[in-house]
Structure 1
Amino acid sequence: MKTTLWKLKNTFKNFDWGSLDGIPKYFHIDNPEHKPMAEMWMGIHPGGVSTAINAQGVEEPLDQLINRYPNKILGAKTYQQFKSLPFLFKILSAKEPLSIQVHPELYKAKAGFAKENQLGIPMNSPNRNYKDPNHKPELIYAITPFLAMNGFRPIAEILALFNQLSIPIIEQHILTLAANPSELGLKRFFHSLLTLEGAIKQQAISALLTSIKSLPEPPFNYIPPISQKYPSDCGVFAPLILNIIELLPGQAMFLNAQTPHAYLRGTGLEIMANSDNVLRAGLTNKHIDIEELFNNTSFTSIPSTQLLTQPRQQENKTLFPVSIDDFAFEIIHSQQQRLVQSISSAQIILCVEGEIEINTESDRCKLKVGESVFIACCAKRFTYQGSGVFARAFNH
Structure 2
Amino acid sequence: MIFRLNNPIKHYAWGCKRSFSDLFQIANPERQPQAELWMGSHPNGSSTIIHEGTETELVDVIDAAPSHWLGVNHQQFNSKLPFLVKILAASQPLSIQVHPNKNAAEKGFERENAQGIAIDDPKRNYKDANHKPELVYAVTPYLAMNGFREFQAIHRLFSTLALPSIAKLLEPFLSAPNEDSLAQLFGAILQLDESAKQQAVIELLSVDASEECTEVAETLQLIAELAKLYPSDVGLFAPLFLNVIELQPGEAMFLYAETPHAYLKGVGVEVMANSDNVLRAGLTPKYIDAPELLANTQFKPIKACDLRMTPINHGDRLSYPIPVDDFKFDIINGGVMDIEVSSAEILLCVKGEVKIKLEQNITTIKTGESVVIPASTSGYTLCCQGLVARTYC
Q: TM-score with structure 2 length normalisation?
A: 0.96
- Which deviates more from structure 2 when the two are superposed, residues 172-181 or residues 133-142? 172-181
Question: What is the rounded CA distance, in whole Å, between the counterparts of 2:132 and 2:361 in structure 1?
Answer: 33
Question: What is the rounded CA distance, in whole Å, between the counterparts of 2:249 and 2:201 in structure 1?
Answer: 34
Question: What is the rounded CA distance, in whole Å, between the counterparts of 2:256 and 2:76 in structure 1?
Answer: 24
| Counterpart in the other structure of 1:122 | 118
Question: What is the rounded CA distance, in whole Å, between the counterparts of 1:227 and 1:349 in structure 2?
Answer: 38
Question: What is the rounded CA distance, in whole Å, between the counterparts of 1:84 and 1:129 in structure 2?
Answer: 21
| Counterpart in the other structure of 2:83 | 87
Quote how far apart the aligned CAs of 1:199 are.
2.1
Question: What is the rounded CA distance, in whole Å, between the counterparts of 2:360 and 2:219 in structure 1?
Answer: 54
SS of structure 2 residue aligned to 1:162: helix
SS of structure 1 residue aligned to 2:207: helix
SS of structure 1 residue aligned to 2:161: coil
**2:66–2:74 contact (8 Å) kept in structure 1:** no
The superposition leaves residues 12-45 of structure 1 with CA deviations (integer Å, 9 ceiling, x where unpaired) of 0011111111222111111111111100000010
One-letter code of the match for 2:268?
A: G
| Counterpart in the other structure of 1:11 | 8
One-letter code of the match for 2:253?
A: M
Quote how far apart the aligned CAs of 1:213 are.
3.9
One-letter code of the match for 2:389?
A: A
One-letter code of the match for 1:66?
A: I
The superposition leaves residues 39-69 of structure 1 with CA deviations (integer Å, 9 ceiling, x where unpaired) of 0000010111101125x86421111111222
SS of structure 1 residue aligned to 2:318: strand
Quote how far apart the aligned CAs of 1:175 are.
2.2
| Counterpart in the other structure of 1:316 | 316
| Counterpart in the other structure of 2:292 | 292
Question: What is the rounded CA distance, in whole Å, between the counterparts of 1:137 and 1:82 in structure 2?
Answer: 18
- Cα gap change, 1:363 to 1:120, in 2 (>3 Å): farther
1:36-51 counterparts in 2 under 5 A? Answer: 36-51=33-48
Does 1:105 pair with 2:105?
A: no
1:238-257 counterparts in 2 under 5 A? Answer: 238-257=238-257
**2:147–2:242 contact (8 Å) kept in structure 1:** yes
The superposition leaves residues 352-378 of structure 1 with CA deviations (integer Å, 9 ceiling, x where unpaired) of 111111122364311110000010111
| Counterpart in the other structure of 2:164 | 168
| Counterpart in the other structure of 1:379 | 377
Structure 1 segments, 4+ long, off by >6 Å, are none
One-letter code of the match for 2:284?
A: T
Question: What is the rounded CA distance, in whole Å, between the counterparts of 1:363 and 1:72 in structure 2?
Answer: 20
- Cα gap change, 1:145 to 1:115, in 2 (>3 Å): same
| Counterpart in the other structure of 1:268 | 268
- Cα gap change, 1:386 to 1:301, in 2 (>3 Å): closer
**1:166–1:211 contact (8 Å) kept in structure 2:** no
| Counterpart in the other structure of 2:338 | 340
| Counterpart in the other structure of 2:22 | 25
**1:169–1:203 contact (8 Å) kept in structure 2:** yes
One-letter code of the match for 2:73?
A: K
Question: What is the rounded CA distance, in whole Å, between the counterparts of 1:20 and 1:310 in structure 2?
Answer: 32
Question: What is the rounded CA distance, in whole Å, between the counterparts of 1:258 and 1:283 in structure 2?
Answer: 18
The superposition leaves residues 160-217 of structure 1 with CA deviations (integer Å, 9 ceiling, x where unpaired) of 1122224210112222211131111000100111111222211110111110443473
**2:329–2:389 contact (8 Å) kept in structure 1:** yes
Question: What is the rounded CA distance, in whole Å, between the counterparts of 1:110 and 1:61 in structure 2?
Answer: 25
Quote how far apart the aligned CAs of 1:388 are.
1.4
One-letter code of the match for 2:258?
A: Q
| Counterpart in the other structure of 2:204 | 208
Quote how far apart the aligned CAs of 1:157 are.
0.8
Percent identity over paired residues: 46
| Counterpart in the other structure of 2:307 | 307
Question: What is the rounded CA distance, in whole Å, between the counterparts of 1:200 and 1:63 in structure 2?
Answer: 47
**2:333–2:384 contact (8 Å) kept in structure 1:** no
Question: What is the rounded CA distance, in whole Å, between the counterparts of 1:354 and 1:91 in structure 2?
Answer: 16
- Which deviates more from structure 2 when the two are superposed, residues 106-115 or residues 194-203? 194-203
SS of structure 1 residue aligned to 2:376: helix
- Which deviates more from structure 2 when the two are superposed, residues 347-356 or residues 190-199? 190-199
The superposition leaves residues 291-344 of structure 1 with CA deviations (integer Å, 9 ceiling, x where unpaired) of 110110000111111111111110110111111110111101233xx4311110
One-letter code of the match for 1:342?
A: E
One-letter code of the match for 2:358?
A: T
- Which deviates more from structure 2 when the two are superposed, residues 287-296 or residues 194-203? 194-203
**1:5–1:363 contact (8 Å) kept in structure 2:** no
**1:334–1:384 contact (8 Å) kept in structure 2:** no
Quote how far apart the aligned CAs of 1:81 are.
4.0
The superposition leaves residues 225-261 of structure 1 with CA deviations (integer Å, 9 ceiling, x where unpaired) of 1111111111001111100011111111000010000
| Counterpart in the other structure of 1:326 | 326
- Cα gap change, 1:362 to 1:64, in 2 (>3 Å): farther
SS of structure 1 residue aligned to 2:218: coil
The superposition leaves residues 57-99 of structure 1 with CA deviations (integer Å, 9 ceiling, x where unpaired) of 6421111111222111111123444411000000001011110
Question: What is the rounded CA distance, in whole Å, between the counterparts of 1:374 and 1:81 in structure 2?
Answer: 18
Question: What is the rounded CA distance, in whole Å, between the counterparts of 1:50 and 1:146 in structure 2?
Answer: 26
Q: TM-score with structure 1 length normalisation?
A: 0.95
| Counterpart in the other structure of 1:132 | 128
